[in-house]
């Protein structure tokens, strides 16, 4: 009891979280449900942005629609909450119009890989200099838990009451095949690796993609007999880190384990760079003259 009291006296000073500068604190608490992992993924993203040491005003966060896409509304940087699936083309416009911006797309699996799938593959192909963080909670949480392009086969959702008859995307493979320069997957429990990975991606030119597995206890977990902590225990016990693993080998589980790690990291010229080189090689010289 005494230590409990001690704990209470400690919070007497006005509590100020280390990320409060990066948060719209006037909008806290956020809308995410108790036990939802988006907040942790979002926290890792903000920490990584801070850790880069790059000027805060250069960061822009763009989101689509969905639970994860509410992220943009809580980041205390210039932030754009756009339409469903269209965060990436919006971000592409921002980045091409002002290459000095460091553009982060923070959105969910439904937004980026179902309705926005086409934009994702094309941005990866063009190698647009974006950092795309995809919170994958296996379902459409905002609308109450419908099947997504990432829902595992046989999993129950409100629109697959008999279990999902379809197979999910292997999204790191999709990113890799489409031409992304950086591909990684973590869970929100691996928050430190996730943070480091996002930081690395932010500093890297070209299209970086990071998938974050994250619990949706209310809409997905409840229907699949997975409490929030159960999901975290899966992340703890049934994952294995294999940096450099080929994305084609990530489908489902490997030896019963979900494979995490940084799978792909290559240097290649970004969309902006290629445009300058190809479309106006003499522009700079001209301009100087």
Partner 1 sequence: MKLWRVPLDAGHVKVTRGIVHVIEDRCKGCGYCIEYCPTHILGFSKHYNKKGYHPPQILNPDGCVHCRYCEIICPEFAIYSVEAPKPDTQPEE
Partner 2 sequence: MEPAVLTGTHYMTGDEACAEGALAAGCLFFGGYPITPATEVAERMAERLPGVGGVFIQMEDEIAAMASIAGASCAGVKSMTSTSGPGFSLMMENLGLAIVTETPCVVVNVQRAGPSTGLPTQGAQGDMYQARWGSHGHYEIIALAPASAQDIFYQTIRAFNLSEKYRTPVLVMTDEVIGHMSERVVIPRAEEITVFNRPRAKGRKDRFKPFEPGPLGVPPMAIAGEGYNIHVTGLTHDERGYPVMSVDCQREMMARLIGKIQNNLDDIIEVEGYLLDDAEIVLISYGVSARTSRAAADEAREMGCKVGFLRLATVWPFPEKHIRELAQRVKGFITVEINFGQIHREVERAVQGKAPCFLAGHCGGTVISPDAVLDIIRREF
> Which residues are near partner 1 by CB under 8 A?
3-4, 6-8, 10-11, 13, 15, 17-20, 23, 28-30, 32-40, 42-44, 47, 188-189, 191-192, 195, 228-229, 232
Question: Which residue in the block uniquely carries the two structure tokens 């829902």?
Answer: 151
**What would the two tokens of residue 96 be?**
């091409």
Say if residue 29 is preceded by a cis peptide, omega within 30 of 0: yes
Q: Where are the beta strands (DSSP E) in the chain?
A: 59-63, 78-81, 102-108, 130-136, 139-140, 146-147, 182-187, 208-213, 239-241, 258-265
Per CB under 8 A, the list member of 52, 58, 143, 159 interacting with partner 2 is 58
Per CB under 8 A, the list member of 25, 28, 54, 98 interacting with partner 2 is 98
90 binds partner 2 (CB under 8 A): yes
For 200, the enclosing helix (H) or strand (E) is: helix 191-203
- Counted residue by residue, the chain has a size of 289
| Rg, Å, the chain Cα set | 20
280 binds partner 2 (CB under 8 A): yes
CA distance 136 to 107: 9
Q: Tell me the closest approach of the beta carbon of residue 253 to partner 1, in angstroms.
A: 23
Q: Tell me the closest approach of the beta carbon of residue 210 to partner 1, in angstroms.
A: 16
Q: Tell me the closest approach of the beta carbon of residue 24 to partner 2, in angstroms.
A: 7
20 binds partner 2 (CB under 8 A): no
The footprint of partner 2 (CB under 8 A) covers 24, 27, 56-58, 60, 62, 72-73, 76-83, 85-86, 88-98, 100-101, 118-119, 122, 275, 279-280, 283, 286-287
């Amino acid at each position: 009891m005494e230590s409990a009291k001690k704990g209470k006296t400690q919070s007497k000073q006005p509590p100020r979280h280390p990320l409060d500068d990066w948060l719209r604190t006037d909008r806290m608490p956020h809308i995410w449900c108790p036990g939802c992992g988006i907040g942790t993924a979002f926290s890792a993203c903000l920490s990584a942005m801070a850790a880069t040491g790059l000027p805060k005003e250069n960061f822009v966060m763009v989101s689509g629609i969905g639970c994860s896409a509410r992220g943009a509304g809580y980041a205390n940087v210039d932030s754009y909450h756009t339409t469903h699936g269209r965060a990436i083309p919006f971000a592409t416009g921002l980045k091409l119009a002002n290459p000095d911006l460091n553009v982060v797309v923070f959105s969910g699996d439904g937004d980026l890989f179902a309705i926005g799938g086409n934009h994702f593959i094309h941005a990866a192909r063009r190698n647009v200099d974006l950092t795309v963080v995809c919170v994958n909670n296996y379902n459409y949480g905002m609308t109450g838990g419908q099947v997504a392009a990432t829902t595992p086969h046989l999993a129950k959702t409100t629109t697959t009451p008999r279990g999902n008859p379809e197979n999910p995307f292997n999204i790191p493979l999709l990113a890799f095949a489409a031409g992304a320069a950086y591909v990684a997957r973590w869970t929100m429990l691996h928050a430190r690796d996730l943070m480091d990975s996002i930081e690395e991606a932010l500093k890297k030119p070209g299209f970086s993609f990071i998938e974050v597995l994250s619990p949706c206890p209310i809409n997905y977990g409840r229907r699949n007999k997975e409490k929030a902590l159960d999901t975290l225990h899966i992340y703890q016990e049934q994952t294995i880190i294999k940096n450099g693993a080929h994305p084609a080998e990530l489908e489902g589980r490997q030896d019963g384990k979900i494979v995490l790690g940084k799978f792909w990291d290559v240097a290649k010229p970004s969309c902006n760079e290629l445009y300058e080189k190809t479309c106006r090689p003499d522009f700079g010289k001209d301009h100087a003259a």
